[in-house]
A and B are shown apart, each in its own frame.
Chain A
Amino acid sequence: MFGVVVFPGSNCDHDCYHVLKHVLGVPAYFIWHKEENIDPAFKVIVLPGGFSYGDYLRTGAIARFSPVMKAVKRFAENGGLVIGICNGFQILLEARLLPGAMLRNKGLRFICRDVHIRVENNRTPFTKECKDGQVLRIPIAHGDGNYFATPELLRELNDNGQIVFRYCTQDGQITDSANPNGSLENIAGIINKEGNILGMMPHPERASEEILGNTDGLYIFKSMLKTVVGEASNTFELKQVGGVSNI
């Protein structure tokens, strides 16, 4: 089952929950950020977008110290899948669960619009339903999405196939003008070396329903689903577990 962490200031938690529960029909639960343990029944943890702790100091800097983050770290160390979307990505960076850091958008503006991203690695638990090089149209909504890494780290990310998405044109060209925020090498999403923690700035949960005119985001959710269902057929057994609420 899927867990969606709720920090004070998260505002995409319900969207993620809705896609999982009502669009894909899988068991999903909210996990309050004060939780110190994550039930082993969870297979995927979503750190949703929003403005945790008002983005005070730096985006994601304070959420990183929420009690649940220690549990998320343990969960990831045991091989659980963790996806951080937008603010969730920023939190993963601050928690050093993913390498690098976010800077203010190059144009200083908060950008909220559809962008195109190219799948650079479809051999991950989060992109296995995509074709290699597939272009997805997914909205972004952030002020700090300008990914920064040292040259050494950048080389490492490239060598290890850790760059999962890059901003591109509609037909998949990686150009400066397709880069909305100044992110290094048009990076829109990266994965850890072990391949079970993904961070991405675009919001797949905002592009997962026909009625919204775009279902490209479903590729991400369906990939995760395929990964965990493939691993254990009884994964989605519904059960009420302590410390989580079913809304």
Chain B
Amino acid sequence: MKARVYITLKKGVLDPQGRAVQSGLENLGFKGIKSLRVGKLIEIELEGLSLEEAQSSLKDMCESLLANTVIEDYHFEIEAGDTVSGERTVVTEKCIIEQGRVIA
């Protein structure tokens, strides 16, 4: 089971890095960039957990270490793969949790 955790600065929190990258792109001649913010992507491989367990464990990971919830928001996706009779059936469970609340 694979999980991808996305960590982004909260709205309204200044992102000096994003601003620098944006002006870098603009200096290269790219036009039409309305805004740009830099975040983090953390990939985690999980095993021996049910989808529900993985979900709750990931939430705890984000709250306790991966994100600093004073300045950052997080959401994650879990991708659960399964192989049945040689054919690969992929069950994808995506959930979006913001501020500890499941929103999608």
Interface residues, chain A, CB within 8 Å of chain B?
57-58, 61-62, 65, 93-94, 100-101, 103-108, 146, 148, 182
Q: Are B16 and A146 in contact (CB under 8 A)?
A: yes
**B residues 53-68 touching A (CB-CB < 8 Å):** 65-66, 68
Nearest A-chain residue to B17, judged by Cβ: A104
Report if B102 contacts A (CB, 8 A). no
Q: Are B68 and A101 in contact (CB under 8 A)?
A: yes
By a CB distance below 8 angstroms, the chain A residues around B84 are: none
Q: Secondary structure at chain B's binding surface: helix, strand, loop or mixed?
A: mixed
Report if B14 contacts A (CB, 8 A). yes
How distant is the Cα of A108 from the Cα of B17 in the complex, in angstroms? Answer: 7
How distant is the Cα of A239 from the Cα of B66 in the complex, in angstroms? Answer: 41
Task: Indicate the member of A101, A105, A182 with the most B CB atoms within 10 Å.
Answer: A101
Q: Are A103 and B70 in contact (CB under 8 A)?
A: no
Q: How far is the CB of B73 from chain A (nearest CB, A)?
A: 13
How distant is the Cα of A62 from the Cα of B68 in the complex, in angstroms? Answer: 12
Contact of B71 among A107, A108, A148 (CB under 8 A): A148
Q: Are B13 and A108 in contact (CB under 8 A)?
A: no
Q: How many A-B pairs with Cβ below 8 Å?
A: 35
How distant is the Cα of A106 from the Cα of B17 in the complex, in angstroms? Answer: 8
- Interface magnitude class on chain B: 10 to 19
A-B contact pairs, 23 of them (CB 8 A): A57-B65, A57-B66, A58-B68, A61-B65, A61-B68, A62-B65, A93-B70, A100-B70, A101-B68, A101-B70, A101-B71, A103-B14, A103-B16, A104-B16, A105-B16, A106-B14, A106-B16, A107-B16, A108-B17, A146-B14, A148-B13, A148-B70, A148-B71
By a CB distance below 8 angstroms, the chain B residues around A148 are: 13-14, 70-71
Q: How far is the CB of A65 from chain B (nearest CB, A)?
A: 7
How distant is the Cα of A104 from the Cα of B16 in the complex, in angstroms? Answer: 7
Q: How far is the CB of A211 from chain B (nearest CB, A)?
A: 36
How distant is the Cα of A93 from the Cα of B16 in the complex, in angstroms? Answer: 20
Nearest B-chain residue to A184, judged by Cβ: B14
